[in-house]
Amino acid sequence: MPKFMLKIGPNDQNLINNEDICCYIADEKSAKAVLAQAVASDKLVLGTNKEFMQQFGLDGLLLTTEIDEKFAKSIKPLQKELKGKFLGINCAPTRHEAMLASEAEPDFVCFLLEKENQEQGKAVIKWYSELFLIQQAIPYFEKIDEEILKIADFVILNASEYKILVDKIKRLD
Residue 171: is its pLDDT beyond 70? no
Q: What is the pLDDT of residue 169?
A: 61
Considering only CA atoms, give the Rg of the chain: 16
User: Percent of the chain, pLDDT > 90?
Assistant: 64
If pLDDT is split at 50, 70 and 90, which confidence band does 172 have? Answer: low
* Element housing 101 (H / E): helix 95-103
* Element housing 86 (H / E): strand 86-91
pTM for the structure as a whole: 0.89
Rounded distance, CA 170 to CA 103, Å?
A: 34
* pLDDT tens digits for range 135-168: 999 999 888 888 998 899 999 998 888 877 766 6
- Top mean pLDDT of 9-23, 44-58, 153-167 is at 44-58
* pLDDT tens digits for range 63-93: 999 999 999 999 999 999 998 999 999 999 9
Residue 46: is its pLDDT beyond 90? yes
